Amino acid sequence: MKVKILPGCISCGTCEVVCPKVFSVNSVSKVREGTDLKEHEDCIEEAADMCPVGVIEVVRSLHGRDE
Protein backbone atom coordinates (compact mmCIF):
# COMPACT_ATOMS: atom_id res chain seq x y z
CA MET A 1 0.00 0.00 0.00
CA LYS A 2 1.14 3.50 -0.82
CA VAL A 3 -0.50 6.77 0.17
CA LYS A 4 0.09 9.98 -1.74
CA ILE A 5 -1.20 13.50 -1.29
CA LEU A 6 -2.04 14.94 -4.69
CA PRO A 7 -1.80 18.67 -5.49
CA GLY A 8 -4.73 20.72 -4.26
CA CYS A 9 -4.66 20.08 -0.50
CA ILE A 10 -6.47 22.91 1.32
CA SER A 11 -4.92 22.12 4.74
CA CYS A 12 -8.30 21.55 6.37
CA GLY A 13 -6.82 19.03 8.83
CA THR A 14 -9.51 16.38 8.39
CA CYS A 15 -7.02 13.63 7.58
CA GLU A 16 -4.91 14.46 10.63
CA VAL A 17 -7.96 14.34 12.92
CA VAL A 18 -9.17 11.03 11.45
CA CYS A 19 -5.75 9.35 11.23
CA PRO A 20 -3.11 11.28 13.23
CA LYS A 21 -0.51 8.47 13.21
CA VAL A 22 -0.35 8.67 9.39
CA PHE A 23 -1.07 12.29 8.41
CA SER A 24 0.31 15.63 9.56
CA VAL A 25 -0.83 19.01 8.30
CA ASN A 26 1.29 22.14 8.21
CA SER A 27 0.98 24.16 5.03
CA VAL A 28 -0.35 21.00 3.31
CA SER A 29 -1.03 17.44 4.37
CA LYS A 30 1.87 14.98 4.45
CA VAL A 31 2.17 11.27 5.12
CA ARG A 32 4.36 10.68 8.17
CA GLU A 33 7.53 8.80 7.21
CA GLY A 34 8.17 5.44 8.80
CA THR A 35 4.52 4.76 9.64
CA ASP A 36 3.23 1.23 9.15
CA LEU A 37 0.47 2.02 6.65
CA LYS A 38 -0.97 -1.49 6.73
CA GLU A 39 -1.57 -1.16 10.48
CA HIS A 40 -3.63 2.00 9.90
CA GLU A 41 -5.43 0.91 6.74
CA ASP A 42 -8.95 1.56 8.07
CA CYS A 43 -8.33 5.13 9.17
CA ILE A 44 -6.38 5.88 5.96
CA GLU A 45 -9.42 4.81 3.93
CA GLU A 46 -11.70 6.90 6.14
CA ALA A 47 -9.44 9.95 5.77
CA ALA A 48 -9.38 9.52 1.99
CA ASP A 49 -13.18 9.23 1.90
CA MET A 50 -13.62 12.32 4.10
CA CYS A 51 -11.12 14.54 2.27
CA PRO A 52 -13.23 17.44 0.95
CA VAL A 53 -11.02 17.92 -2.11
CA GLY A 54 -10.20 14.25 -2.77
CA VAL A 55 -6.42 14.57 -2.79
CA ILE A 56 -5.56 11.47 -0.75
CA GLU A 57 -4.66 8.66 -3.13
CA VAL A 58 -4.44 5.11 -1.79
CA VAL A 59 -2.61 2.71 -4.11
CA ARG A 60 -2.88 -1.01 -3.45
CA SER A 61 -0.86 -3.78 -4.99
CA LEU A 62 -2.66 -5.94 -7.54
CA HIS A 63 -0.79 -8.99 -6.29
CA GLY A 64 -1.85 -8.80 -2.64
CA ARG A 65 1.49 -7.53 -1.35
CA ASP A 66 2.70 -4.07 -0.47
CA GLU A 67 4.44 -2.09 -3.15
Q: Please give the chain's pLDDT, 67 residues, in tens.
A: 999 999 999 999 999 999 999 999 999 999 999 999 999 999 999 999 999 999 999 998 776 555 4
What's the pTM value of the predicted model, to 2 decimals? 0.86
> Is residue 16 a part of any domain in this protein?
yes
Calculate the alpha carbon distances from 24 to 8, 35, 39, 44 in Å. 16, 12, 17, 12
CB 51 within 8 A of CB 15: yes
Instruction: Say how many domains are in the chain.
Output: 1
> Is residue 66 a part of any domain in this protein?
no
Secondary structure element (H or E) that encloses residue 5, with its range:
strand 2-5
Output the CA angle 65-66-67, nearest 5 degrees.
Answer: 120
> Which domain CATH number covers 42?
3.30.70.20
Range of the domain at 13: 2-59
> Is residue 44 a part of any domain in this protein?
yes
